A and B are shown apart, each in its own frame.
Chain A
Amino acid sequence: MSADAAAVAIKVRRPWFGERLLSGRVLKGALGLLLVLVAWQVSVPLVGLPEYFYPSALAVWRAFLELIRKGILPVYVADSLGRYVTGVGLGTLIGVSLGLLISLSRTTARVLAPLVNFLYAIVEVAWIPLFVIWWGYGLKVILVALIYVVMFPILYNTLVGIRTVPQVYINALRSLGGSRLQVIREVLVPAALPNIITGFRVGAGFAFRGLIFSEMIAAKTGLGYLIFEGTAHHQTARTIVGMICMGVLWLLIDNVYLKPFERATVERWGTVVAAEERR
Chain B
Amino acid sequence: MSSASRRLVDDLSGAIPFVMALAGWALLSNYGNVPEYMLPPLGQMWMRFREALVDGSLLRHVSGSLYRLAISFVIGNAIAIPLGIAIAMNRNVSDLLRPVLTFFQSIAGIAWVPLAVIWFGIGMGSVIFVITNTIFFGAIYSTVIGVQMIPKTLHRAVLCHGAKGMQVFTELILPGALVQIILGLRTSMAYGWRALVAGEMIAGSSGLGYMTIEAVQWYQTDTVIMGMILIGLLWLMLDRLLFAPLERHTVARWGLLQR
Contacts and interface: CB of A to CB of B under 8 A. Distances in A.
Interface of A: 24-25, 28-33, 35-36, 52-53, 110-115, 117-119, 121-130, 132-134, 206, 209, 212-213, 216-217, 227-228, 230-232, 236, 239-240, 242-244, 246-248, 250-251, 254, 273, 276-277, 279
A29 B216 contact: no
A125 B215 contact: no
Given A53-B119, A127-B228, A243-B111, A133 B38 contact: yes
Interface residues of B, number: 62
Interface stretch (B8-16, B152-160, B164-172): B8-16
B212 interface: yes
A121 B236 contact: yes
Interface stretch (B43-51, B75-83, B196-204): B196-204
Interface in B236-252: 236, 239
Given A125-B201, A277-B257, 12 more contacts: A36-B100, A121-B236, A122-B229, A123-B231, A125-B198, A126-B228, A133-B221, A212-B110, A232-B114, A246-B107, A250-B107, A279-B187
A209 B14 CA distance: 32
22 contacts: A28-B95, A29-B96, A114-B14, A117-B236, A118-B236, A121-B233, A121-B239, A122-B232, A122-B235, A123-B232, A125-B197, A126-B228, A126-B232, A127-B228, A128-B201, A129-B216, A133-B224, A212-B111, A217-B202, A236-B115, A243-B115, A247-B111
Contacts of B193: 123
Interface of B: 13-18, 21, 37-38, 92, 95-100, 102-104, 106-107, 109-115, 117-119, 142, 183, 186-187, 190, 193-194, 197-198, 201-202, 209, 212-213, 215-216, 219, 221, 224-225, 227-229, 231-233, 235-236, 239, 257-258
Nearest to B208: A126
Contacts, number: 154
Nearest to A127: B228
A113 B17 CA distance: 8
Contact of B96 (A28, A213, A276, A277): A28
A66 B102 CA distance: 27
A31 B92 CA distance: 11
